[in-house]
Structure formats: structure tokens, C-alpha cells
Amino acid sequence: MINRQDSLCFQYDDLLKLLRWQWRGGMDLGKFQNAFEQLADFSRQHRITRWLADTSDMPLVGSDEQNWLGEHWLPQFPRLGVSRIGLVLPLSLHNVLVVEHLMFDDQHYMPANVQFFSDTPAALDWLTDSSPRIKLLENEWLLGTGANAQIR
């Protein structure tokens, strides 16, 4: 299942309890907050245990977004039940530093097993323990996000 919400595109797989998301488009504080609240609500509602967070194309994250994420959103993350995160690193060095600061800051407790990747296929393989569903998920993602290639 592929959903598009304002600045967010996400895919949900019930069998794997996997939520894959990627930022699309511009960013402002309101869009940022709304997107991350949607991710939290959806994860709680569907008892998601695995996230594939593709931050590769995310626009520069400003200080307002960083502060909100660190002060308001990250403290609730342990209650979501997400135990594994495959994080596709941003292409922007600025955003890589933001991710590292938020993930490894002493004030935040990250209860999930987080692995960093440079591409989504490797992250998906790790998250799904090389599930045969990978091809189906990749094809669904490509078709649902407007790409025309298929994985064989």
C-alpha cells in the first residue's frame, strides 16, 4: 500500500509490519511537524515494528525542525514500538550531521536497532531478513511513486 501525504510518500506492509517513508518536496516547520506526527500515528495504529526511513532527498532541515524533533517528537518515539530502523542517509552533509546529532545525543534514548545505509535495497534487505517479499515491495514502490522501472 502506497500513500502520499503532502510532503511524504510511504508504503506499508502488514505482514512485515514495515513502514517505508521518503520525504517529497519542500519543507517548512508545519509540513515537517505534520509529516512526523502522521508517521507516529500510523506506526501506533498499525503496530509497526520496522521503519525504512529514506532521508536521501530530504531538503535541508532547519534549526526549528531540529529543535521540534528533539524536544517534542523523539521523546515519544520509544512508545511507538519500532524496534528496527534502516535509515538511508541524506545526500546533504548538513542533514547527515543533523541525523547524527539527534540519534546520538545523550538526551535521547533510541530503543531501536538502527542501521545506516547508502541505498534503499540494502536497507530493505536488512529490515526484512532477505524476505522474498522484497521484489513485490520494490515494484509496488516504483509503480506507486511514479517510477516506471520494475525489479525482476
Q: What is the pLDDT of residues 48-92, one digit of tens each?
A: 999 999 999 889 999 999 999 988 998 888 899 999 999 999 888
Q: What is the pLDDT of residues 36-51, one digit of tens each?
A: 999 999 999 999 999 9
Q: Give the global pTM.
A: 0.86
User: Could you tell me how far CA 109 lies from the centroid of its own chain?
Assistant: 18
Q: What is the mean pLDDT of the chain?
A: 87
Predicted confidence at residue 109, as pLDDT, reads 62
Predicted confidence at residue 115, as pLDDT, reads 92
Predicted confidence at residue 147, as pLDDT, reads 58
- Give the mean model confidence (pLDDT) for residues 129-145: 90
Predicted confidence at residue 43, as pLDDT, reads 95
CA distance 89 to 69: 17
Cα 82 to Cα 22, 50, 51, 151: the distances in Å are 17, 6, 7, 27
Grade residue 95 by pLDDT with cuts at 50, 70 and 90.
Answer: confident
According to DSSP, the residues that pair with 13 across neighbouring strands are 18
Domain ranges of the chain: 2-144
Q: What is the pLDDT of residues 102-111, one digit of tens each?
A: 877 755 667 7
Q: C-alpha grid cell for residue 62?
A: 532547519
Predicted confidence at residue 108, as pLDDT, reads 61
Predicted confidence at residue 53, as pLDDT, reads 93
CATH of 2-144, one of 3.30.750.24, 3.40.50.150, 3.40.630.10, 1.10.10.10: 3.30.750.24
Does residue 150 carry a pLDDT above 50?
no
